[in-house]
Amino acid sequence: MHQDTTRTAQDLLDADLVSSEQAVAIDQVVKEFSMAVTPDMMELIDFNEPADPIAQQFIPSTKELNILPEELADPIGDFPHTPVKGIVHRYPDRVLLKTIHVCPVYCRFCFRREVVGNDGEGLSPQELESALDYIRNHPEIWEVILTGGDPMILSKPKLHSIIQALDQVDHVGIIRIHTRVPVVDPGRIDQEVAQILRVSKPVYMAIHTNHPKEFSETACSAIATLADAGIPLVSQTVLLKGINNDPETLTRLFRLIVRNRIKPYYLHHGDFAKGTSHFRTTIQEGQALMRALRGKISGLCQPTYVLDIPGGYGKVPIGPNYLQKQEDNQYYVEDPWSQAHLYPPKD
């Protein structure tokens, strides 16, 4: 049976999943920020559970209409680093290539929510060619990161031609794809897609996933298709209040990620995207969560906790910190059980 993506309050009402009052509220939010929930994600939602971790990520809430003064339209500062349309060149050796502005789902906490959406425009063929020319003309670019939007919803011929074009640029060492598709729309991943990603240069995939419940059987088999094809997989997770901000959920999530042959890469502190304050934790809480994982679960299961500094200043690890400098090049270093030790040791 073919099902469509849920895009409007009316769709939810028609499916008898919300009350008409809720539908009016949702409609108000959707006017500001696009909504999309794939059939795969709809299936995972328990609509009788107000705190359902999937519903909270994808079903609009009127809390999003609460916009704080510090919440910025461009929270991670992409605009000042855009030399040509579709390129973000913030770090010397790597660029983002944003070919498309649509996603299979719209995460309610998205840091690019001002630019992604159903009415967002992608690159025209000429604009794509200019973006590729920028990459060709800048030999310092070692890595190209396809993002958006979600590049894995490009048509296969389009994806194929972009990957081929990048593979042919001598100075490009690796290609990376940032996507949510293997988890939220796993039916798009098949052998043909895996073949498209097998080129002479390594194509890494960074999969965005935030909760253990996202690992359905179909998601796991899509991920296995990619891993079997030899695509190195890493994950990105956003720290989200009420969804994954407890050690037990993060432990299950990072273990599931590793069990599925994905290396946890980043745990992102929530950005100042408009109307997302109900999802943000404090940095102190994030550090306490990371501390709770260190030593207790495998090192393979540990991501780096990072903050994208507002204004476009880059991503940096934000702890926790285990090292304290003393005088004379001596340090105190804390072990995973909070005991401090002098380094180098004194006898």
Ligand X SMILES: *Cc1c(COP(=O)(O)O)cnc(C)c1O
The rounded Cα 340 to chain-centroid distance in angstroms is 35
Stretch that binds ligand SF4, among 100-108, 122-130, 286-294, 312-320 (CB under 6 A): 100-108
Shortest spacing between CB 113 and ligand SF4, in angstroms: 6
Point out the catalytic residue in the list 7, 90, 252, 294: 90
Q: Which does 106 bind (CB under 5 to 8 A by kind): ligand SF4, ligand X, none?
A: ligand SF4
Stretch that binds ligand SF4, among 103-111, 131-139, 246-254, 288-296 (CB under 6 A): 103-111
Stretch that binds ligand SF4, among 108-116, 245-253, 298-306, 322-330 (CB under 6 A): 108-116
How far apart, in Å, are the Cα atoms of 293 and each of 65, 101, 246, 250? 34, 35, 10, 8
Q: To the nearest 5 percent, what fractions of the chain are helix, strand and coil?
A: 35, 20, 45
CA-nearest of 236, 232, 213 to 223 is 232
Look-up of token digits 């390594």? 202
Q: Indicate the residue among 188 and 274 with the shorter CB distance to ligand X.
A: 274
Is the CB of residue 237 less than 8 Å from the CB of residue 244?
Answer: yes
Please say if 112 is a catalytic residue: yes
Is the CB of residue 150 less than 8 Å from the CB of residue 179?
Answer: yes
- Binding letters toward ligand X, positions 64-83, x by CB under 6 A: ------------x-------
| C-alpha to C-alpha distance for 231 and 224, rounded to whole angstroms | 10
Q: Looking at residue 145, what DSSP letter applies?
A: E
User: If you write DSSP's letter for every residue of 149-196 in order, what string do you get?
Assistant: S-GGGS-HHHHHHHHHHHHT-TT--EEEEEESHHHHSGGG--HHHHHH
145 forms part of the interface with ligand X (CB under 6 A): yes
Q: Indicate the residue among 99 and 169 with the shorter CB distance to ligand SF4.
A: 99
78 forms part of the interface with ligand SF4 (CB under 6 A): no
33 forms part of the interface with ligand SF4 (CB under 6 A): no
Point out the catalytic residue in the list 98, 112, 176, 280: 112
Please say if 308 is a catalytic residue: yes
> Which of 7, 85, 90, 138 lies at the binding interface for ligand X (CB under 6 A)?
90
Is the CB of residue 268 less than 8 Å from the CB of residue 236?
Answer: yes
Stretch that binds ligand SF4, among 40-48, 102-110, 290-298, 315-323 (CB under 6 A): 102-110
241 forms part of the interface with ligand X (CB under 6 A): no
C-alpha neighbours within 13 Å on the C-beta side of residue 171: 14
Is the CB of residue 187 less than 8 Å from the CB of residue 217?
Answer: no
| Site residues for ligand X per CB under 6 A | 76, 88, 90-91, 94, 96, 145, 315
| Site residues for ligand SF4 per CB under 6 A | 103, 106-107, 110, 112, 116, 150, 180, 208
Residues involved in catalysis:
90-91, 94, 103, 107, 110, 112, 271, 308, 315
